[in-house]
Amino acid sequence: MNEIQLGNLLTEAEGYYELELYDDALKRLDEFDAAGGERKQSLRMRGEILRAADRFEEALKILEESNTLDPHNMLTYMSLGWCYKRTNRLPMAVRALEKAVENDPEFTLAKYNLACYYSLAEQRAKCFSFLADAIAQNPEYAAMAREEADFDNVRHLAEFTALTAER
């Protein structure tokens, strides 16, 4: 199969993913793999599709391999954190997002999610530190935090109210 045909398979997989037709997307990736497509591309997309399909355990295996091949892909760290959280492995979710922030200190979404995870882990100082950084970089995160259930256990605290107050 030539590069154009391989590219078409990836495009089709992305299209099915966007339409939430996850099984069809995975079939296209199977074809891509069978035709000799680049494994790094396939793994990342496959992991994301499985994550979106709420198949978290399967997604983790794929995303961990993807992360090994491409340890600088910030979206993989985000997906890993998402899956770890939803499989009750909060410490691993925290580590994944800490690594994302370590690799890209300007990755605001990772800081916001890390604040969520630290809130759940009842590590308030770290929660507020990362939430403050995220809001400083993007004030829209204050409104998001006011609605986010992950902050329910710190919502009543003065630090949270001060950080997320409407301006």
What is the pLDDT, as a whole number, of residue 4? 87
pLDDT (tens digit, 9 = 90+) per residue, 54-107? Answer: 999 999 999 999 999 999 999 999 999 999 999 999 999 999 999 999 999 999
Domain boundary among 43, 66, 93: 93
The answer on 78 and 132 residing in a single domain is no
Nearest to 97 by CA among 65, 155, 105, 87: 105
**Average pLDDT score over residue span 112-116:** 98
Residue 98, in any domain of the structure: no
Tokens standing for 3?
């590069």
What is the pLDDT, as a whole number, of residue 2? 85
pLDDT (tens digit, 9 = 90+) per residue, 35-50? Answer: 999 999 899 999 999 9
pTM: 0.89
Count of the separate structural domains present in the chain: 2
**Average pLDDT score over residue span 123-151:** 97
Domain that holds residue 158: 105-167
Tokens standing for 116?
């969520």
The rounded distance, in Å, linking the Cα atoms of 78 and 128 is: 19
